[in-house]
Amino acid sequence: MHHRLPEEPRVAVVGATGAVGHEFLSVLSQRRFPLAEISLFASPRSAGTRVPFVRDGRRHELPVQPLEEGSLQGFDVAFFSAGKGVSKAFAPAAAAAGALVVDNSSAFRMDPAYPLVVPEVNGEVLDRLDGPTIVANPNCSTIIALVAVHPLHAKARVKRMVVSTYQAASGAGAQAMRELEQQARDFAADQPLRTEIFGRQYLFNVFSHNSAVGADGYNEEETKLLLESRKIWSDDSVAITATCVRVPTLRAHCESINLSFETPLSEDEARELLRRAPGVEVIDDRAGNRFPEPLAAAGRDPVLVGRIRGDRSQAPGMGLDLFVAGDQLRKGAALNAVQIAERLLPARRGAATAELVGARR
């Protein structure tokens, strides 16, 4: 039996006051996700605040409720973006009570019991769900990379992928974005820069991603990109390595991606595959030196792909370089989660809307 949501689900958003939580509300509104009701939850300190939500052109102020035991009874969909600890504590009970849980934390990503999904890449796994469960939303860097690379992988099979990321403040949350803005103001006013979030100057600086570094020298972000990509592709033989850094942009991550293929794939073939791919927008203007940039991706749905060129260090057709940009808060988080739920709506509404993302030119 395939699991389907009601035509108008009852939706809960957990972590509604954070950067991704706000983006959930924006995406649900803009995509006109059908709602019987929507309820917002966050930590007790945020309880009682009101968050704006536009529905059918009308602005509403939704109250934020404290997340407590039993809070998520009676919902059809629960979007989680409140951190790994909250997800582990509350998501299983929400799923057991009948909700499709789409979790944006790392709590369940590598658990073989739960699917890890990018709808444009492996959305078919959602069609095999036989009841309410937890679906894990991948890490933002993984989502952005695979939306761009999967159309090429499906044609020529990627044997090796080398990724260098340029990650925005949005990946570390709303407070990191505010600190970067404050540092810019303080710099302009010749004031000392506050460094509470990263413990160092962020403005005019680039540094290794702020996740923990393991004994092997890889930080958690780099390891996630490796392990999650293999799980989504259902292929542990793909060789993947990554270097992840923070750059002083507010939102939208960029990635430099080098690929090695099993069978030849030309630049022109790759460009045409990407132009037709859902969720992708090709920006590859060599004459004008116009390629993906974080400002061009910010606030938008598609993953921008450019700098498409043959890798001169490999035999002709056996390798390509790409440069991509994608909004971490949208496709890297909230949009991907909403697309997961859309795919389970009656008449598979999500299958059509996901393709519209790629058609926006």
Positions annotated as catalytic residues are 140, 253
Q: Any idea which residue has 């006013």 for tokens?
A: 189
**CA 125 – CA 104 distance, rounded (Å):** 18
Q: What are phi and psi of 83, to 5 degrees?
A: 100, 160
Q: Which of 170, 161, 104, 167 is nearest to 138 (CA)?
A: 104
**CA 243 – CA 222 distance, rounded (Å):** 6
**CA 159 – CA 101 distance, rounded (Å):** 33
- Asked if 261 and 158 touch (Cβ cutoff 8 Å), the reply is yes
Q: Which of 295, 338, 344 is nearest to 26 (CA)?
A: 338
**Three-state DSSP class for 168?**
coil
Q: What are phi and psi of 164, to 5 degrees?
A: -120, 125
The DSSP bridge pattern shows strands 10-14 and 77-80 to be parallel
